[in-house]
Amino acid sequence: MTAAPDHTPTMSRAGLAERLGPYIPVLLIPAIMAFGLIFIPSMSSWLTLTVSGLAMGMMIFIMASGMTLVFGLMDVINFGHGVFISVGAFVGISILLVLGHMTEAPSLALNLAAILAAVLAAMAATGVLGWAFERVIVKPVYGAHLKQILVTMGGLIVVEQLIIVLWGPEEIYILRPEALRGAITFAGAAMEKYRLLAVGIGAVLFLVMRYTLRRTKIGLIVRAGVENGEMVEALGYRLRLVFVGVFIAGSALAGLGGVMWGLYQEVITAHMGQQIMILIFIVVIIGGLGSVEGCFIGALLVGLLQNYIAFLEPKLALISNIGLMVAILMWRPQGMIPVVKAK
Amino acid sequence: MIVKLLSGDTPRSPVLAVILLAILVALAFAPFLFPGVRSVDTAARICIFIVLVASYDLMLGYGGIVSFAHTMFFGMGAYGVALASTHMGRGFDAVAVGALSGALLAAAIAFLIGLFSLRVRAIFFAMITLAVASAVAVLVSQLSGLTGGEDGLSFQTPRALTPAFRFGDELFGVRLNGRLLAYYLIFGVSLILFLLMLRVVNSPFGRVLQAIRENDFRAEAIGYRVVGYRVTVTCLSAFIAALAGALYAIWLRYVGPDTVLSFDIMVDILLMVVIGGMGTMYGAVIGAALLVLAQNYLQALMGMAAGAVAGLPVLPELMNADRWLLWLGVLFVLSIYFFPTGIVGRLRQRRQGRAAQGR
């Protein structure tokens, strides 16, 4: 018997670029921050801009996450998503105006309680509206993209006009609660308290969402549904119910985002949802339709880039987002983190 | 002869034929049949919107592509004429240069957007056009040095098209002035563009587009380059929309973000296409005529309704003349559900149903 020939197997190591590939989208965020650091002359203004960019990105993420999940799960493209933002903002801000004594008080606890009440009311209202919207507008047109786009756009117009009927056509101005006005100074940079709060809320929400999607059973069903809906149904899960749930949750999140955006801008109009929708579309496209992580990264990129460019060259800020989108689509035509569909 | 002029695509329904003929006659003799500044203005708007809506239908009804940038293309033509007339002085050469350069720019931008989005997924196109159109609208109102910003631009059209130009006395009680010429210029160009589009959709190219709309995967399998066809129809549609915008600018002698770029016009176009009937050029005619008339006269009607229910809660607010968009939106959603083929589709269907029964 001859001995087996000597043989030492070696794994061929993937090249650096190949190993880095999946992380490039994540790495883009520090890359953009570094870009800002190089071009923005003073450290303190860079810090201020970064915080406001992150705040803006987090708010956009909150509003966009529902839409991207709804698309991933059921292939439903909801052009009326923006209306939940407007409705959320109007309901929330109305509550805040009613609770004027609480928002005017200098105590942080009372202020936060008022905001919490407003947010809960807004989320409840937009959740119910989302349920109705799904029932009346979206359900009859499953599977037909063209009709979905047209019908949801029609729904957007109708609800927007109803807001004007109920609240009047004028814009509503609102002041932030007492304890959240002004800024704190850190390392010479002024950072608005409200923006820090927005960053905090956004980060917590992202982590909660990620946890839900990755670690819980319902998250497992949702992720499986995104990948292969028919299979999940064949295994006995009622994907329709899951979808309605996700739609409602997404609408409620849009309502939350609406309240936060309203307090950020300190003015709300019935058309605000439609205006933000444009940013949301850009974020959802560059993130990869259906991907929550991609949406998060895309939102932060858009927020940071817009703030940096607005500081460096205000006229360019208008088209910076479009430029970002074009660049990313040239690099990855399906978006940064394309959703794999098993078909 | 007539069949040939219509590229073999006859109305195929007697009711439809009568309605179309009535619209054609009314538009052709509008200044004589309905004298008065307001009604001629309405007729001119109908002509222009027929072209605009038909060009949109080329994309939506035949190509199966949803675009929200059609007003942007429309505005490019309008601003092209306005800028050329301001900088080159009044004259037909300025109008021609402006209209052509606006239309070419529109086609070029449509080409770029199409290449970026249609390559991947047709729905990307809807989102990207929405984003680009809003960016352009903001840009136009910001670059006030060039475009006049929110105030827009007033400019002079060639002298032969102004009310001051007289070429005769009166004919059937209508003054023969440049305004009449301007109307017939718009009517003539609109008619030619419309017949041209009818020709396009009934050509082999149009057939392939319809095949792609019905089943793009299959069309690709048969061997047609789906992306190429889609991009081509997008460019063509943008080009014609820009020409319609140029006509609008000639008629109004003014351009501004609200009149040629606002999202409301986009909503109007969508309504006209859907109500008239997607995928038929004649739908554009009926939709545009109906909606423009409704817009001009519906608001007065709603004002009356609001007066009738005054005193009741909420209802007067719902009937407020400013809220007509609400009712149009409801109509829009309902018509997508219940009349996806629009008025023209319904009329043709009825005829076919009857023919089937008679057999």
| Residue A125 confidence class, pLDDT cut points 50, 70, 90 | very high
Q: Which residues 79-118 of B are in CB contact (within 8 Å) with A?
A: 116-117
Q: For residue A85, what are its two tokens?
A: 């933002």
Torsion of CA A170, A171, A172, A173, to 10 degrees: -130
Pick from A44-58, B9-23, B247-261: least confident: B9-23
Q: Is B321 on the interface with A (CB under 8 A)?
A: no
What percent of chain B shows pLDDT beyond 90?
Answer: 20
Tell me the C-alpha distance between B29 and B246, whole Å: 22
Stated as kind and residue range, the H or E segment containing B313 is none
pLDDT (tens digit per residue) in B185-206: 999 999 999 999 998 888 899 9
More confident residue, B78 or A20: B78
Q: For residue B195, what are its two tokens?
A: 């017949």
C-beta of residue A112 within 8 angstroms of C-beta of residue A229 = no
Q: Is B333 on the interface with A (CB under 8 A)?
A: yes
Q: How far is A150 from chain B (nearest CA, A)?
A: 8
Tell me the C-alpha distance between A235 and A228, whole Å: 11
Q: What is the pLDDT of residue B355?
A: 56
Q: Which residues 263-302 of B are in CB contact (within 8 Å) with A?
A: 263, 267, 270, 274
Stated as kind and residue range, the H or E segment containing B67 is none
- Which residue of B116, B130, B134 is in closest CB contact with A329? B116
Torsion of CA B50, B61, B276, B304, to 10 degrees: -90
Which residues in B lie closer than 8 A to residue A281 (C-beta atoms)? 127-128, 130-131
- ipTM, two decimals: 0.79
Please give the residue range of the domain that contains residue A63.
41-331
Contact between chains at B337 and A140 (C-beta distance less than 8 A) = yes
Exposed, middle or buried: residue A42 (CB in 10 Å: 0-12, 13-18, 19+)? Answer: exposed
A77 part of a folded domain: yes
The mean per-residue pLDDT over the stretch B127-138 comes to 85
C-beta of residue A137 within 8 angstroms of C-beta of residue A66 = no
Which residues in A lie closer than 8 A to residue B126 (C-beta atoms)? 77, 79, 149
C-beta of residue A271 within 8 angstroms of C-beta of residue A86 = yes
Counted across chains A and B, CB pairs separated by less than 8 A come out at 96
Q: What is the pLDDT of residue B319?
A: 64
- Which residue of B119, B274, B314 is in closest CB contact with A333? B119
Rg (CA), chain B: 21
Which residues in B lie closer than 8 A to residue A161 (C-beta atoms)? 323, 325-326, 329
Q: Is B132 on the interface with A (CB under 8 A)?
A: yes
| Residue B300 confidence class, pLDDT cut points 50, 70, 90 | confident
Q: What is the pLDDT of residue B311?
A: 62
Contact between chains at B326 and A79 (C-beta distance less than 8 A) = no
Residue A292 in this model has a pLDDT that exceeds 50: yes
Tell me the C-alpha distance between B55 and B65, whole Å: 12
* B168: helix, strand or coil: strand
pLDDT (tens digit per residue) in A47-92: 888 888 999 999 999 999 888 888 877 778 888 888 999 999 999 9
Residue B102 in this model has a pLDDT that exceeds 50: yes
Contact between chains at B123 and A77 (C-beta distance less than 8 A) = yes
The mean per-residue pLDDT over the stretch A111-123 comes to 88
| CA atoms within 13 Å, Cβ hemisphere of B216 | 16
Q: Which residues pair with B177 in a beta bridge?
A: B166
Contact between chains at B337 and A319 (C-beta distance less than 8 A) = no
What CATH number does residue A312 fall under?
Answer: 1.10.3470
Rg (CA), chain A: 22
- For tokens 């997008």, name the residue: B234
- Number of domains chain A is built from: 1
Helix spans in A216-291 (H) = 217-227, 229-234, 239-265, 272-287
A26 part of a folded domain: no
| Residue A343 confidence class, pLDDT cut points 50, 70, 90 | very low
For residue B38, give Cα distances in angstroms to B34, B43, B246: 9, 9, 21
A175 part of a folded domain: yes
Q: What is the DSSP letter of A105?
A: S
Which residues in A lie closer than 8 A to residue B131 (C-beta atoms)? 278, 281-282, 321-322, 325
Q: What is the pLDDT of residue A131?
A: 92
- The rounded mean pLDDT for chain B is 83
Q: What is the pLDDT of residue B352?
A: 64
Which residues in B lie closer than 8 A to residue A149 (C-beta atoms)? 66, 123, 126
The mean per-residue pLDDT over the stretch A176-197 comes to 77
A3 part of a folded domain: no
A97 part of a folded domain: yes
- For tokens 């048969």, name the residue: B222
Which residues in B lie closer than 8 A to residue A79 (C-beta atoms)? 126
pLDDT (tens digit per residue) in B325-337: 788 888 888 888 8
CA–chain centroid gap for A225, Å, is 21
Tell me the C-alpha distance between B212 and B353, whole Å: 27
| Residue B214 confidence class, pLDDT cut points 50, 70, 90 | confident
Which residues in B lie closer than 8 A to residue A155 (C-beta atoms)? 329, 333
More confident residue, A127 or B280: A127
The mean per-residue pLDDT over the stretch B121-149 comes to 81
Q: What is the pLDDT of residue B104?
A: 94
Q: What is the pLDDT of residue B106?
A: 93
C-beta of residue A264 within 8 angstroms of C-beta of residue A55 = yes
Q: For residue A79, what are its two tokens?
A: 């052009």
The mean per-residue pLDDT over the stretch A250-254 comes to 91
pLDDT (tens digit per residue) in A261-275: 998 888 888 888 888
| Residue B87 confidence class, pLDDT cut points 50, 70, 90 | confident
The residue of A149, A167, A274, A321 whose CB has the most chain B CBs within 10 angstroms, and thus the best one to mutate to test that interface, is A149
A25 part of a folded domain: no
C-beta of residue A316 within 8 angstroms of C-beta of residue A331 = no
Task: State which amino acid sits at residue A317.
Answer: A
A164 part of a folded domain: yes
Q: How far is A102 from chain B (nearest CA, A)?
A: 31
Q: What is the pLDDT of residue B313?
A: 59
pLDDT (tens digit per residue) in B161-173: 777 777 766 767 6
| Residue A252 confidence class, pLDDT cut points 50, 70, 90 | very high
Residues with Cβ < 8 Å from B27, sequence gap 6 or more? Answer: B43, B46, B47, B187
A197 part of a folded domain: yes
Q: What is the pLDDT of residue B359?
A: 41
| Residue B358 confidence class, pLDDT cut points 50, 70, 90 | very low
